[in-house]
Amino acid sequence: MQLKFNTRDPVYMQVIRYFKTQIATGVLEPGEEIPSRREIANMFKINPNTAQRAYKEMEEQGLIRTERNFPSKITRDESVIQHVREELVVTAVNDFVDAIKPVNVPLDELLDLVKQKYAGADDQKGGALDD
């Protein structure tokens, strides 16, 4: 498990986002045990209270389940997992639109470029809009 922290967002939120990404991409599977709060604190070099806060929030969101004296596990609730995927996609699209809108690229041209990039047709970084 690797996580690179930024200075903009609270650390506990970044831990939650990390787990959401792992869940959405299938790296962590429904019902899979996850490390303890103490193990996460050690792995990510964060305060144990920060790890506790992240786990508490993930429990409240239904992402993980913790039963007395047993390891926490990823939810098996497909609707929660689907919601996490949708949330990550909407966030990425919003960030993309906010970043690209000031460039004033015609929408059809932009969609063509996105389709090419998504399909892997143009693996170069950057690239011209009108090839």
Helix 11-24 vs helix 48-60: crossing angle, to nearest 10: 50
Please say whether the beta carbons of 69 and 120 come within 8 A: no
SS3 at position 25: coil
Q: Is the pLDDT of residue 125 over 60?
A: no
Please say whether the beta carbons of 81 and 24 come within 8 A: yes
Answer whether 0.85 is exceeded by the pTM: no
Of 70, 73, 42, the closest CA to residue 55 belongs to: 73
Pairing of strands 73-74, 64-65: antiparallel
pLDDT band at 4 (very low <50, low <70, confident <90, very high): confident
pLDDT, residue 131, reads 47
| Ordered domains of the chain (ranges, CATH) | 11-119 (1.10.10.10)
The rounded distance, in Å, linking the Cα atoms of 30 and 70 is 16
Kindly report, residue by residue over 49-81, the tens digit of the pLDDT. Answer: 999 999 999 999 999 999 888 999 999 999 999
